[in-house]
Amino acid sequence: MASSTSYCRLVAFRSCGPLLKRSPKDIGSFISKRHEKSTAVFYERNKKGLDRDLKKRPLRHALKMSLQNFGPELKLLYQEQKEAFTRFPVISVDHGNYELVYSFNDADSVKSWAVTADRDNEGGKSTANFTFSKNRTGLFHGYLSKEVPKDGKTKYAGYANITSPKPMKSFGRESQMDWSHFNCLLLRLRGDGRPYMIVIGCNFYYDINWLNRWSYPVFTRGGPYWQHVKIPLGKFFTTHHGRIQDKQEFLPLKMINSVGITAADSAEGPFSLEIDSIALMNDINVSNKHAYEMYENKYYEVQC
């Protein structure tokens, strides 16, 4: 292990050597060329599941943005450290207690969510929007189109999704949420009769897990009445790139970093889902075990 670490340091030193002989104007292009040849030295995580490398930001632009954001980020770091020393750790949660995770009672909370559809990825003609409604709620609406583009690759179309912003720390550091004290997801919503999929993402370290999600369907009734949907966290099933996996795993409750809602029920036409809030709840009547079969063998240790 020590020899491999020393070798990586030597490669990094030799790769950075030419930077000392170049002007700052050429450093950005040099890094991008090096990135095409070797990802061991200059590397950015690609969590979009794309085969091509992401376009790197020029070094001069990155330094400029870092200097502009240094003051606000430093204040945010101070606030984080202050909260870490003053707040009390949560040891247990009583029955019936809940914690509000997302509330759509203002326009800023709605704008922070990312909206995508197959039209954005040149995979169809579906459209989607997430707007602040007159009822002071978030309105996820659009049109699902089943028309498949004639590109020779796409087989299915009709997809729209909204995803929550990922939790971030100061200086652009990725963070995560801890849901281990709760066992249910509580949603207050009002739909159009279509089924929707609740999708939960986690913060993994390895690229083979970046597209892993935990999903569960929600069936809306339609009409003017609100629904209070309570989903046990143990009922979320494992998917990878939208495909249900044979080997199911329990949702890693200490590594949550995103919550999304997907409309893709193979029915062409308009859709509309009004969302008031998303919360966590603890119910002693709900089992904390995984709801699906967990296969075990002597070569692989699975979660129970």
Tokens standing for 277? Answer: 């809030």
Find the angle CA(269)-CA(274)-CA(277) to the nearest 5 degrees: 145
Of residues 99 and 22, more confidence is placed in 99
Percent of the chain with pLDDT over 90: 49
pLDDT, residue 296, reads 65
Average pLDDT over residues 103-110: 94
Q: Is 171 left (phi over 0), alpha (psi -120 to 50) or beta?
A: left
* Cα–Cα distance, 31 to 39 (Å, whole number): 11
Separation in Å, CA 150 to CA 153, 233, 259: 8, 39, 32
pLDDT surpasses 90 at 201: yes
Residue among 45, 114, 90, 96 at smallest CA distance from 259: 114
Q: What confidence category does residue 72 fall into, taking pLDDT thresholds of 50, 70 and 90? A: confident
Query: How many CB atoms within 10 Å of residue 171?
Result: 12
Contacts of 8 (CB under 8 A, 6+ apart): 40
Q: What confidence category does residue 70 fall into, taking pLDDT thresholds of 50, 70 and 90? A: confident
User: Does the pTM of the predicted model rise above 0.85?
Assistant: no
Contact, 282 vs 182, CB < 8 A?
yes
* Cα–Cα distance, 113 to 213 (Å, whole number): 18
Helix, strand, coil fractions of the chain, as percent rounded to 5 = 25, 30, 45
Out of 3.30.70.120, 3.30.9.10, 2.60.120.430, 3.60.15.10, the CATH code matching 94-282 is 2.60.120.430
Which parts of 76-149 are beta strand (E)?
98-103, 114-117, 127-132, 138-144
Find the angle CA(65)-CA(66)-CA(72) to the nearest 5 degrees: 100
Of residues 198 and 51, more confidence is placed in 198
Contact, 258 vs 163, CB < 8 A?
yes
Rg (CA), the chain: 23
Q: Where in the chain is the domain with CATH 2.60.120.430?
A: 94-282
Average pLDDT over residues 198-213: 87
Average pLDDT over residues 88-104: 87
* Cα–Cα distance, 291 to 231 (Å, whole number): 12
Of 12-21, 183-192, 239-248, the least confident: 12-21
Average pLDDT over residues 65-85: 86
Of residues 52 and 137, more confidence is placed in 137
pLDDT, residue 301, reads 53
Tokens standing for 44? Answer: 């950015």
